[in-house]
Structure 1
Amino acid sequence: MMMTTTQADYDLAVVGGGPGGYVAAIRAAQLGMKTVLVEKAQLGGVCLNWGCIPTKALLRSADVLRLVREASRFGVQVGQPTADLQAMVARSRAVAAQLNKGVDYLMKKNKITVLHGTARLDGPGHLAVQGAQGASRLAARHIILATGARARQLPGLQPDGESVWSYREALVPVRVPRRLLVIGAGAIGIEFASFYRALGAEVSVVEMADRILPVEDEDVSAHVAESLRKEGMRLYTGARIAATSRRGAGAQTEWQVSLEGRHQDSLVADVVLVAAGIVGNVEDLGLEGSAVRVERSHIVTDAFGATGEPGVYAIGDVAGPPWLAHKASHEGVACVEKIAGLNPHALDPNNIAACTYSHPQVASVGMTEAAARQAGRSIRVGKFPFSVNGKAIALGATGGFAKVVFDAASGELLGAHMVGEEVTEMIQGYAVARELESTEAELMSTIFPHPTQSEVMHEAVLAAYQRALHI
């Protein structure tokens, strides 16, 4: 097919329309840059279409199911609820589709040219684009690579849409597996484990680390593990897959999985869900011959996304951890503002909150207690439970706690960790505190509204200084 050269010159070309790429494009347009965005699939990327948003829609269905099952606790009598899997999946896909249309609207509103296809570097300041309408070559003064990442595959456990799933297959199931094995106990693995357990699946989780949610504070991991076990989930930590074999096909498939390490068990499953990390999408980008450096499947950048190749930048998951949509969006804005000659602040990973929407929910920002001690900090730790919080008691949501870690000398809030009902909606309070460099003094003097679950956040701060009032 003949390649044509576009006549338009762009100030910025963005490759990838996920939460990093499309936000970067919008900010560039706001700053007066002529911008083009190239996306090979759906605007919004994995997060909006196959990750953050549709999973939360499914998890909301699971929460409603749990709540209805417990309705009698609240004086409400209902019949035995049943899960309509097809309706849950349809709602999840509809939510994603609505937001996908929203991103399309934002591109048009901001007069951003959108090209559907693949793009690769084609010499300094140029991209070769291959789409449904053929091939073209465009010129851009700056190029941002925001191609994201994909699920890591394990040998012998490649997703087949039937008995081996990645997150994509887990989002559109045709049936609830009777026995589900989840490999990986990070946020994605634990979220799906929670969803399918709520729907009645027998769920086992295998994790190589010595605890589930290994990047979270140890107290949080322990609480979640206890809660999941009470729900009937089996957790195998400090274990790895030694061997696998399968019998049958389709819905009749049965997996035999042998473990080694702390657990040397043999597990049986109908479906295996692989949630063992991600790999950056660095292939077919034309990086060969450029000064762009790749390490462990991720593009190496400076604090503002610049690579070793002049005029080429990388943001989001393809640029490395933390692999979070809001980190990608923030990186996109900072990168564009740096290109525009403004003076943005470099992203501080310790100020990026992380959320896991399992049952119970988990949210954190900053250093764990163990990390602070390993860094040689002298610390004060405060912890306060939801079990004595008035609003939590009224809601019937008394599990969990808030935990804070302060520098003992300066009062700096080093980290905050929460587990419980809707803590993902509260962690932003601690994130703001870290961004504003608040100390224990400001947090103690802040008046939290009553009755709210957020009062636990205040009491945790007080507890770090032996001033907790309600325990």
Structure 2
Amino acid sequence: MAAKPFDMIVIGAGPGGYVAAIRGAQLGLNVAVVEREHLGGICLNWGCIPTKALLRSAEVFHLMQRAKEFGLKAEAIGYDLGEVVKRSRGVAKQLASGVGHLLKKNKVTVIMGEARLTGPGTVTVKTDKGSEELTSKAIVLATGARARALPGLEADGDLVWSYKHALQPVRMPKKLLVIGSGAIGIEFASFFNTLGADTTVVEVMDRVLPVEDEEISSFAKKQFLKSGMKILEKTTVKKLDRTPGKGVVAHLEDAKGTTTMEFDTVISAVGIVGNVENLGLEGLGVKIDRTHVVVDAFCRTG
């Protein structure tokens, strides 16, 4: 089958990819975007958007408990976890379908499948129907990232959750351990803590939200502690002993030594790694440094 020529091919339809594809099309280019899973990527489907929807429900629940302060009456306040999750998934689905509509409106060719760079300017896409070849002088890599899995802390969906499990919880945790206090860990800690879980956050660095400004970090920490969250900084989770149907014993280590704590649920949020595997980058001489593609000032690869 003959290769299909395009002016620009974008690999990945997350916030980086679909925006680049639309802009290219608006500038008059014939653009194709290749996506293996969901239009809108992790952010829209399994990240920023659905977590904000969960947090909004938690915020409203929290405000309802303060109704009296506003001169309002709200009695027998409760929540339905299933419905909270259903709303979150609905919001994500609506926005993802909006991305599909935008791409179509801008005449971008969408190909659902797995892309691989098979030569200079050549992309082979493995789809449900087989494989097709695309060619272009301009190829944009927007393959995004995924959750990092540390040995011994891998998610199992039952006792130890990844962000995907935490977005569709099978139960409400009673005693929750969140490993990692970056944006992802803190969002889930805030959500479950507000809904009543006894929440402990463990951070290996010397402060929560370690990549934010120190001022924001310390202000946020005060609020989290005020809300009843427990925060352990400069602490490492050495291992997790899992007992199905019972819970998890976490072995924690800090400057004073090692302690153990029991939890019924653990959320692992220990950072993210770039999706750079199986793309054929190495064969084309594209440099990778710690799962990041090395680029120049204009975001060009080698």
Which band: TM-score by shorter chain?
over 0.9
For residue 285 of structure 2, the aligned residue among 291, 315, 338 is 291
Matches within 5 A, 1:438-449: none
Partner of 1:262: 255
Q: How far, CA to CA, are the matches of 1:210 and 1:198 in structure 2?
A: 24
Partner of 1:307: 301
For the 8 Å contact 1:281–1:297, the answer to whether it is kept is yes
Partner of 1:426: none
State the secondary structure of the residue aligned to 1:283.
coil
For residue 72 of structure 1, the aligned residue among 68, 71, 74 is 68
Q: Which amino acid aligns with 2:263?
A: A
Q: How far, CA to CA, are the matches of 1:237 and 1:5 in structure 2?
A: 58
Q: Which amino acid aligns with 1:269?
A: F
1:51 and 2:44 aligned: no
Q: How far, CA to CA, are the matches of 1:272 and 1:253 in structure 2?
A: 12
Q: How far, CA to CA, are the matches of 1:206 and 1:227 in structure 2?
A: 16
For residue 91 of structure 1, the aligned residue among 77, 87, 90 is 87
1:135 and 2:131 aligned: yes
Q: How far, CA to CA, are the matches of 1:298 and 1:18 in structure 2?
A: 17
1:5 and 2:20 aligned: no
Q: How far, CA to CA, are the matches of 2:278 and 2:208 in structure 1?
A: 35
Q: Which amino acid aligns with 1:230?
A: K
Q: How far, CA to CA, are the matches of 1:118 and 1:286 in structure 2?
A: 12
Q: Which amino acid aligns with 1:288?
A: E
Partner of 2:223: 227
State the secondary structure of the residue aligned to 2:84.
helix
1:30 and 2:26 aligned: yes
Q: How far, CA to CA, are the matches of 1:204 and 1:186 in structure 2?
A: 14
For residue 268 of structure 2, the aligned residue among 253, 270, 274 is 274
Q: How far, CA to CA, are the matches of 2:130 and 2:46 in structure 1?
A: 27
Partner of 2:118: 122
Return the offset for 1:129: 0.5
Describe the superposition over 1:64-102 as per-residue Cα deviations: whole angstroms up to 9, x where unpaired: 000000000111011031111111100001101111110
Partner of 1:397: none
Return the offset for 1:11: 0.4
Matches within 5 A, 1:424-439: none
Return the offset for 1:112: 0.5
Percent sequence identity is 52
Query: Would the alpha carbon gap of residues 128 and 253 (structure 1) be closer, same or farther in structure 2, given more than 3 Å must change?
Result: farther
Q: How far, CA to CA, are the matches of 2:2 and 2:67 in structure 1?
A: 64
Task: State how many pairs are aligned.
Answer: 301
1:238 and 2:219 aligned: no
Partner of 1:157: 153
State the secondary structure of the residue aligned to 1:102.
helix
Describe the superposition over 1:208-246 as per-residue Cα deviations: whole angstroms up to 9, x where unpaired: 111111122323222222221222211110010123211
Q: Which amino acid aligns with 2:79?
A: A
Return the offset for 1:258: 1.3
Return the offset for 1:182: 0.4
1:205 and 2:205 aligned: no
For the 8 Å contact 1:12–1:35, the answer to whether it is kept is yes
CA RMSD of aligned residues (A): 1.1
- Give TM-score, length-normalised by structure 1: 0.63
Q: How far, CA to CA, are the matches of 1:239 and 1:182 in structure 2?
A: 12
State the secondary structure of the residue aligned to 1:289.
helix
Return the offset for 1:164: 1.1
- Give TM-score, length-normalised by structure 2: 0.97
Q: Which amino acid aligns with 2:267?
A: L
State the secondary structure of the residue aligned to 2:166.
helix
Q: How far, CA to CA, are the matches of 2:42 and 2:209 in structure 1?
A: 22
Describe the superposition over 1:310-352 as per-residue Cα deviations: whole angstroms up to 9, x where unpaired: xxxxxxxxxxxxxxxxxxxxxxxxxxxxxxxxxxxxxxxxxxx
Gaps of 5+ in 2: none
For the 8 Å contact 1:300–1:307, the answer to whether it is kept is yes
Matches within 5 A, 1:368-407: none
Greater Rg by CA = 1
Gaps of 5+ in 1: 309-471
Return the offset for 1:104: 0.4
Return the offset for 1:289: 1.9
For the 8 Å contact 2:34–2:110, the answer to whether it is kept is yes
Describe the superposition over 1:395-425 as per-residue Cα deviations: whole angstroms up to 9, x where unpaired: xxxxxxxxxxxxxxxxxxxxxxxxxxxxxxx
For the 8 Å contact 1:237–1:262, the answer to whether it is kept is no
For residue 142 of structure 2, the aligned residue among 118, 127, 146 is 146
Partner of 2:185: 189
For the 8 Å contact 1:68–1:78, the answer to whether it is kept is yes
